[in-house]
Amino acid sequence: MVSVVAQGEDIFGVAAMTTDLVEEARERHGSDPVVATALGRLMTGALLMSTTLKEPDHRIILQIKSRGPIQRLVAEADGAARVRGYPEVPVVDTESVPSRGVKLDVSGMVGPGMLHVVKEIGLKEPTTGAIALVSGEIGEDLATYLLQSEQIPSAVSLGVFTHPGKMVSEAGGFLIQFHATLEDEVIEHVEQALANTPAVTTMIQEGYSPLDMLQRALGGMAMDVVRTVTPRWYCPCSRDRVMEMLIAMGETELRQLMEEEAVTRITCDYCVTEYIFQRPELQALLSEAKA
């Protein structure tokens, strides 16, 4: 993933190839092609937006809640270019297998709904924002959020291509932001360049690097690279964190868990790691909760 500035620092751009990350999410959740595509776009968007965070431990969380078959998607990225995500409904279309030249109906599967954005940036409370989805294609929705909620004119292009074998073969995206009032000829140049820029998956298939994508999107404009980083899948869940969560549930709910099952199984939504607790272990946690 590479970040650049142009026209002094009036234009900011970032692009990433996320194929391996999106494929890992698809594999972990067993997602069908359309869900893998939608989640992959949202994860890529979260990564691109995370480049504006000032510290490695600052986080951005994107959540789509919709009335379409997909229902809910969540993606989270931090300032260290670590990302994770999950779909509430991993399989919504088991019969549709994509092929070259056929575009999945992501917008139709997402349907009408809301995009929620949460930023944890070291303040006492997270900053939050939300907009109604404008298309369900996700890239356009993120650009609309940035304009309406953060007053930053932006272009967002996201792409995920799933192979007929249901593996993710290409995934990535770019984000262009305009931080000042630019001269008309500069705006026209960029608008024309963006209009002529191929789809992200097409550029990846043709061998473009993230920097190549930005050069194409900005029409060959002179750029300065400000950061290059390799994004990676990361989930900070652990047995200790799950134990802390169980203790925080309180005495009543812990007792209920103990009474319902001899073995309690808790699965992380993001990475699908399962944590198993025997009844005696819950009893020990109950003692801590009562303390």
User: Which residue matches tokens 């995370």?
Assistant: 50
Residues 71 and 162 placed together within one structural domain of the fold: yes
Task: Say what the pLDDT of residue 115 is.
Answer: 98
Assign residue 102 the CATH number of its domain: 3.55.30.10
Domain count, the chain: 2
- pLDDT, one tens digit per residue, over 8-34 is 899 999 999 999 999 999 999 999 999
54 to 12, 143, 193, 207: CA distances (angstroms): 15, 21, 29, 31
Q: Evaluate if residue 97 carries a pLDDT over 70.
A: no
> pLDDT tens digits for 234-250?
999 999 999 999 999 88
Shared-domain flag, residues 149 and 40: yes
Q: Domain check: are 266 and 188 in the same one?
A: no
Taking only the tens place, the pLDDT of each residue in 52-73 is 999 999 999 999 999 999 999 9
Residues 251 and 196 reside in one and the same domain: no
Among 200, 233, 266, the domain boundary falls at: 233
Same structural domain for residues 167 and 277? no
Q: What is the pLDDT of residue 36?
A: 95
Q: Is the same domain home to 216 and 265?
A: no
| 246 Cβ contact partners less than 8 Å away, ≥ 6 residues apart | 254, 257, 266, 277, 282, 285, 289
Same domain? For 187 and 265 the reply is no
Buried b (16+ CB within 10 A) or exposed e, 6-40: bbeeebbbbbbbbbebbbbbbebbebbbbbbbbbb
Separation of alpha carbons 290 and 244, rounded Å = 13
On whether both 28 and 134 belong to a single domain, the answer is yes
Domain extent at residue 258:
239-290
| Predicted confidence (pLDDT) at residue 95 exceeds the cutoff of 60 | no
Asked if 263 and 277 touch (Cβ cutoff 8 Å), the reply is yes
User: Which residues lie across from 132 on neighbouring strands?
Assistant: 114
Q: What is the mean pLDDT of residues 134-141?
A: 96
pLDDT of residue 102: 53
> Which of 212, 233, 254 lies at the terminal end of a domain, its last residue?
233
Do 245 and 221 have their domain in common? Answer: no
Indicate which CATH number applies to the domain containing 248. 3.90.1280.10
- Of 187, 216, 233, the one marking the end of a domain is 233
Give yes or no: residues 111 and 251 share one domain.
no
* Same domain assignment for residues 144 and 173: yes
**What pLDDT is stored for residue 93 in this prediction?**
61
- Is there a single domain that holds both residue 148 and residue 267? no
Taking the CA atoms of 135, 139, 145 and 151 in sequence, report the sign of the dihedral they define: negative
